[in-house]
A and B are shown apart, each in its own frame.
Chain A
Amino acid sequence: MITNILSDLRLYRYLLITQLRAQAQYKMNLAIDIGAYFAVTSLEFVGVLLYFGPFPTLLGWKVGEVAMLCAVMSISFGFAEMFGAGIDAFPDTIRLGEFDRVLLRPVNSFILVAGSDFRLRRLGRITQGCITFIIALRLLPGLNWTGMKLLVLVIGIGSGALLFTSVLLLGATLCFWTVESTEIMNILTYGGRDMLSYPLAIYNQFLQRFFLFVVPLAFGSFVPTCYLLGRPLPFGLPPEVAFAAPFVALVFAMAALVAWRFGVRHYQSTGS
């Protein structure tokens, strides 16, 4: 068991290094890509900032607080996009019938899929998230940083990245049956990201419950941010649930992995 996991990790590391080397070949292109992606994501954030010209608060949330939420979201989503690129590209693997080849190899198929792509250009979003974080800190001088808060921030970002990667995996799993059109999953990934870049409290009860208890993406952004800002959580949840984020994320990731295994067993090649 342990040796299996170790050899899987070694294989994954090898695949990542291959990807990095390949992408570093076209340095100019890579620089343009990262720069363009940074510009695009920054503009998204400027769009949020501009609302606070005419409006003082968003349902009681001040501009700095929303900026903090956006920062946490950008960083965790950026990591998920970077590491989950192979999973994200999985529909093509299925459609072209290439998954047959993957299955023939005597190694863990999940590792091969996850390691099949790694997008360095997503650094653009992560950079934007870090700059947004600094802006948020400037706008919120009264934030008393403690070791606990720092811990919540780190595990929050990690959990968020894991949660979004799991959503990507669920989307990829769906392809075993639908072959195409996981566009609907974009609602959960990109839609979830955009939705949770704003305070969860502005949405209706159903959506709030959905993102807390069904697809618990809020544990990667809203819940830890509320802990940092000392804001109450909906449904009378105690702020300390922020520490539960890694467990929530792990349980969700395990569920996604079980679904994936189930999908692999029911895979029928497209044969085209």
Chain B
Amino acid sequence: MLPFYFEVARTAFRRQLIYRWANLAGLLTNIFFGSIFSYVIIALFHARPVVAGYDVRDTLRYTWLIQSMVMIVLTFGWYDMMLTIRSGAVIADLSKPCDFYWYWFSREAGRAIYYLFYRGLPTYVAGMLLFGFGAPLDWQSWLAFPLSLTLGTALGIAYRMLYNSLAFWLLEARAMGTMFVVIALFFTGSYIPLAFFPPWLAPIIKWLPFNALINLPAEIVLGKVAGSTLLFELARQALWVVAVTLLVRAVIALAARRVIVQGG
């Protein structure tokens, strides 16, 4: 069965290769928004040199890391599965001789790998060239980063499928989907670095699953999480991946039992 899922991922990767111009436009958008945030950050740091252990260079790196990972971990406006539910095409996927969850998971994993090379890396390099903040070079954090990014991506896929499966119950769930994504992005540091949140909120947001999406991999690269804390954080991240994956599988199983297909 494994070669099958691998093939699904490879097909998704290759399908993505076709949209060259769309990717270029998206890349420019990422760079533009990264630049806006950078100007805001540079202006803010005129007032204070260091906040919560972050200086202006750390914060710029953080912002561009987040910008680079957003498309890999939590694609904005992903309603592919929701649309199959609405059109009724989902029944074809449900009757395939493979697991419904791992089928979508493989597709999204293929896309994530595409975005890693064609979106994430170019975005960070562009930010580096525009604002000259370089890259942190600590071998320990670079060793842990691939693992944490992989876990974050797996969690992102599970989360995406969770709000997409709302469509089994709601006719039009796109607005809800947007809200799910925006809340996740907010609590994973894409609007403002998590380190800048009010201190009393910190224990709560660190335990939320969203922390494990993009914030944790970014903090690991920056060397903000090291030693035994690193092990603890990775374990907590893995725990969230397992928990949310099980939850989505349960939701899908529940929906599949009572699904009424629309359309014809």
Partner-B contacts on A (CB < 8 A): 26, 29, 32-33, 36-37, 39-40, 43-44, 46-47, 50-51, 53-59, 121, 181, 183-184, 186-187, 191, 194-195, 198-199, 202-204
Contact = CB atoms under 8 A, between A and B. Distances in A.
B171 A29 contact: yes
Contacts of A33: 175
Nearest to B191: A47
Contacts of A195: 36
B1 interface: no
Contact of A59 (B21, B36, B43, B192): B43
Nearest to A39: B179
B191 A54 contact: no
Contacts of B47: 55-58
A36 B179 contact: yes
B182 interface: yes
B242 interface: no
Contact of A32 (B26, B175, B192): B175
A55 to B, nearest CB: 5
Interface residues of B, number: 34
Contacts of A187: 28-29, 32
Interface in B175-189: 175-176, 178-179, 182-183, 186
Contacts of A40: 178-179, 182
A187 B34 CA distance: 12
Contact of B48 (A29, A44, A55, A191): A55
Contacts of B175: 32-33, 36-37, 121
B47 to A, nearest CB: 5
Given A40-B179, A51-B192, A54-B51, 6 more contacts: A32-B176, A33-B175, A39-B182, A43-B182, A46-B186, A184-B28
Nearest to A40: B182
B25 interface: yes
Contacts of A186: 25, 29
A183 B29 contact: yes
A191 B191 contact: no
Interface in B15-40: 21-22, 25-26, 28-29, 32-33, 36, 39-40
Contacts of A36: 175-176, 178-179
A43 B183 contact: yes
B155 to A, nearest CB: 20
